Amino acid sequence: MRILLVCLGNICRSPTAEAALREAAEEAGLELEVDSAGTGDWHIGSPPDHRMTAAAERVGLTLDGAARQVTPADFERFDLLLVMDRTNLADVCALAPDEASKAKVRLFRSFDPDADGEEVPDPYYGGADGFTHVVEIARAGARGVVAHLQSMHDRDPSR
């Protein structure tokens, strides 16, 4: 399975979800290829935001990579494109080449049965708490995604 995490800038939420998903897959012994991208182009080539990196590091999660923009080719490369909010959902769906591609786009938190909201709030213009909150949401969301993939595999081992 190949999964792309998508937010607006690819410097806060999606790199965090990417690291959390990699961690959760490793813990579960699940082989996953994970990457992240942004719908916007402002931060292309930049490392994750230092406030986000610090919040993640405080709980042992290391963020890396450089921001890139999501492209139509990502629908061929990835099995699932998991987005952080409804604006990302609309923007990514608008890039989808066909209906089957659109069906690969889902809200990241929709796999977390205990989620208290459907979106990962954008922390960029807020205070430190927002970044800490994103890390917690990312970790819970990632566990939900892994549980979903495992249950799919249990029902159909060819997947």
| Of residues 27 and 136, the one with the C-beta less far from ligand 4NP | 136
Residue whose C-beta lies closest to ligand 4NP: 9
Tell which positions 108-127 bind ligand 4NP, by CB under 6 A.
Answer: 122, 124
In whole angstroms, give the CA distance from residue 61 to residue 27.
Answer: 13
Mask of contacts with ligand 4NP, 37-56, x by CB under 6 A?
A: -x---x--------------
CB-based contact 119:109 (threshold 8 Å): yes
| Of residues 135 and 149, the one with the C-beta less far from ligand 4NP | 135
Q: How far is the CB of 151 from ligand 4NP (least distance, A)?
A: 28
Our measurement of the distance from residue 125's CA atom to the centroid of its chain's CA atoms, rounded to an integer in Å, reads 20
Site for ligand 4NP (CB under 6 A): which residue of 4, 13, 56, 141? 13
- Only one of the segments 2-10, 89-97, 101-109, 142-150 lies at the binding site for ligand 4NP (rule: CB under 6 A); that segment is 2-10
* Whether 13 is catalytic: yes
Q: What is the CA radius of gyration of the chain?
A: 15
CB-based contact 65:15 (threshold 8 Å): yes
Does residue 4 bind ligand 4NP (CB under 6 A)?
Answer: no
Does residue 11 bind ligand 4NP (CB under 6 A)?
Answer: yes
- Cα–Cα nearest to 11, from 110, 120, 123, 149: 123
Does residue 8 bind ligand 4NP (CB under 6 A)?
Answer: yes
In whole angstroms, give the CA distance from residue 154 to residue 15.
Answer: 28
Q: Which residues are catalytic?
A: 7, 13, 122
* Interaction site with ligand 4NP (CB under 6 A): 7-13, 38, 42, 122, 124
